[in-house]
Amino acid sequence: MKSRFAPDRGLSRRMLVTSFLLGLLYVAFVAALIALTKSAVIAVLIAGGALFVQYFFSDKIALYAMGGRIVTPEEAPQLHGAIDRLCALADMPKPRVAIADVDLPNAFATGRNPKNAVVCVTTGIMRRLDADELEGVLSHELSHVAHRDVAVMTIASFLGVLAGLITRFGLYSGLGGRRDQNTAVIVLTIVAVSAAVYAISFLLTRALSRYRELAADRAGAMLTGRPSALASALTKISGDIARIPSRDLRQAEAFNAFFFAPAISGKGVSLSSLFSTHPPLETRLDRLGVLSRELGEQA
């Protein structure tokens, strides 16, 4: 069943292309695993088992890592009320609702499909935003669920993480001790393939992540009809994130691809910003400003 979130053909095309290219990388990666383990059965079990865990338990893993917990309507009536209204407006299943007790102002959605999704907000974001701003953020996150780009990002991130682990395993264990020349060549080849898979998947997921954030901004703002509320939330959150201690930002950085706003200090342009998970704040605000004028939103 389709939701009433505005469809985005550009996002659909990018998800299709990204999935296809990641599928090719997955084949190359499994081939490297077969060479490493010298057993197709073991290689498939490792790759398939890791993918199974990531796909079916990504929501639980994310909540555990962020310290989030599922809350009932009695525990968080205003939050549940906002999500109930948005899901009714979007004609989509209501996801589970979670809260993470951290000061970092942010939110994220995870889950393999709309019927098995979780939307999590932090206590930091709930303290800082008013009702309209929080509704804008929630609509943004629900659009990720409706567009199913959360599942694509989950699978995409899995391949990069697993390839990185294999690269480190090959470097630290395969090259240690006394090895004959043939073994060294095999291990070096596996490390090279895994490193290439990691690098390519990294670039693919970053490119998709930046576009999907713009798509979610637009779809979420069109659903509520209040782009200015989402723009205000973005401005508040980005400004407050810059004041969060760097140690706390580093701890949350692994979730940047799923966050509403990236957990970075934003001090100038660095090499890492060239491969960021989110488009620049100015770009997001400009797009929302254009959308506000298109919708004839009253100030």
Q: Is 75 labeled as ligand-binding? A: no
68-70, strands of its sheet edge to edge: 68-70, 96-100, 117-122, 107-111
Give the H or E element holding residue 191. helix 181-224
Cα 163 from Cα 289, distance rounded (Å):
40
Q: Which residues of 152-175 are buried (b: 16+ CB within 10 A; e: fewer)?
A: bbbbbbbbbebbbebbeebeeebe
Nearest by Cα to 157 from 202, 208, 107:
202
CA distance 5 to 14: 18
CA 159 to each of CA 152, 202, 235: distance values in angstroms, whole numbers, following the listed order: 11, 9, 33
144 assigned to a ligand binding site: yes
| Whole-angstrom distance, CA of residue 129 vs CA of residue 35 | 53
> Rounded CA gap, 146 and 12, in Å?
12
Q: Which of 141, 253, 282, 294 is catalytic?
A: 141
Q: Phi/psi at 243 (nearest 5 deg)? A: -100, 0
Question: What is the rounded CA–CA span in Å between residue 248 and residue 104?
Answer: 8
CA distance 268 to 277: 16
Q: With 0-12 CB in 10 A as exposed, 13-18 as middle and 19+ as buried, what is 243? A: exposed
Active site residue 141: yes
135 in a labelled binding site: no
| Binding-site residue positions | 140, 144, 213
Residues tagged in the binding site annotation for Zn(2+): 140, 144, 213
What are the catalytic residues? 141
